[in-house]
Amino acid sequence: MNNGFFKGHGLGNDYIALDPDDLDFKLTPKRIRAICDRHWGAGSDGILALTPSKKADFGVRIYNPDGSEAEKSGNGLRIFARYLYSTRRTRKRQFTVETKGGQVSIELHIDAHGEASSATVEMGQATFRPQALPCSLKVAELIQQPIQAAGQSLIFTGVSVGNPHCVLFRDKGQAWTRQELLSLGPELENHKIFPRRTNVQLAVPIGPKSLYILIWERGAGETQASGSSSCAAAAAAVRLGLVQSPVTVKAPGGTLHIDVRGPKYELTMKGPVAEVFSGRLTPAFVRELK
């Protein structure tokens, strides 16, 4: 379909998936912002653009709603997998996808209606090395490091799962508030020690194998759910001995299941994915983009 697109969500974290070869225009940061705008455009938390890959079955470039590019997105990958299956670009249930944050393996789970309503994604390994995020702190690992934000002295654990994360924990029973997320999120995202910015999770253990998180995404802001954020928070919590794997990670949008394996913190994520609609950008809207 000329200027066609697919829209789906993973626990309320929604993305538009498309093939740039089907567009009458090139994707630029300005046009990405216009398409993602929830009042003036199609509205989404980002764009998943199909690309060729020499290493994997498919490639994807992941764009944030501010026009910047993300290395990896767990919810985005589940949506992208359903897009590939729903648009018959593949009928396989297992395939690989190359992202800027590394190659992943995906298994689709087909329900009684013949729809790919959930997916399992091998998300790679978590690392706590500062150069992986990157982070400018001169330490061997970003485990329980001090940081100042919003006039507070805080402790964070830095994790890369192919993209950067700053995880802050509170003890069980001491919940974070949405107001704290809105205050701390933007300051931590843009903190000077993170030269490429970072995603932020405010986490609290709620059981021996479960966490609750609030999420601030780099380039998107407050987010109802995030696959990579859930992986990062789970890996950090396991590393700190706060929970045991497999970890159930709950967010405002819903629940993901994260398996953290071995000394290399290998990550597997499983969660639902929904298709919302398919359509095309109108000629009038495309003229405005141009």
**Residue that the structure tokens 């290399």 belong to:** 264
Same domain as 119, residue 138? no
Same domain as 179, residue 260? yes
Specify the amino acid at residue 231.
Answer: C
**Residue that the structure tokens 């802050």 belong to:** 168
Same domain as 105, residue 148? no
- 119 DSSP β-pair partners: 108, 271
Same domain as 76, residue 12? yes
> Alpha-carbon torsion 189, 194, 199, 202, what sign?
negative
Q: Where are the beta strands (DSSP E) in 71-181?
A: 94-99, 102-110, 116-125, 145-149, 152-160, 164-169
Domain count, the chain: 2
**What is the model's pLDDT at position 1?**
67
pLDDT in tens, 164-220: 999 999 998 899 999 999 999 999 999 999 999 999 999 999 999 999 999 999 999
pLDDT in tens, 143-168: 999 999 999 999 999 999 999 999 99
Using a pLDDT cut of 70, give the percent of the chain over it: 100
State the Cα–Cα distance between residues 257 and 120, nearest whole angstrom. 9
State the Cα–Cα distance between residues 193 and 115, nearest whole angstrom. 44
| pLDDT higher than 80, residue 15 | yes
Using a pLDDT cut of 90, give the percent of the chain over it: 99
Provide the mean pLDDT of the chain.
Answer: 97
Same domain as 170, residue 111? no
Helix (H, G, I), strand (E, B) or coil at 6: strand
Residues contacting 115, CB < 8 A, separation 6+: 86, 275
Helix (H, G, I), strand (E, B) or coil at 197: coil
Mean pLDDT computed over 232-242: 98
- 63 DSSP β-pair partners: 47, 69
Same domain as 135, residue 256? yes
Helix (H, G, I), strand (E, B) or coil at 32: helix
Q: Are 120 and 107 in contact (CB under 8 A)?
A: yes
Give me the CATH number covering residue 205: 3.10.310.10
Give the residue numbers spanning the domain of 210: 130-264
pTM of the model: 0.94
Same domain as 196, residue 179? yes
pLDDT in tens, 70-128: 999 999 999 999 999 999 999 999 999 999 999 999 999 999 999 999 999 999 999 99
Q: Angle 74-86/227-239 helices, nearest 10 degrees?
A: 140
pLDDT in tens, 21-52: 999 999 999 999 999 999 999 999 999 999 99
Same domain as 109, residue 194? no
Same domain as 141, residue 119? no
Helix (H, G, I), strand (E, B) or coil at 231: helix
Per the omega criterion (within 30 degrees of 0), is the bond before 164 cis? no
Same domain as 152, residue 253? yes
> Alpha-carbon torsion 240, 242, 248, 253, what sign?
negative
Same domain as 140, residue 116? no
Q: How far is CA 63 from CA 28, 72, 182, in A?
A: 10, 10, 22
Same domain as 206, residue 91? no
Q: For strand 102-110 and strand 69-70, is the pairing parallel, antiparallel, or unpaired?
A: unpaired
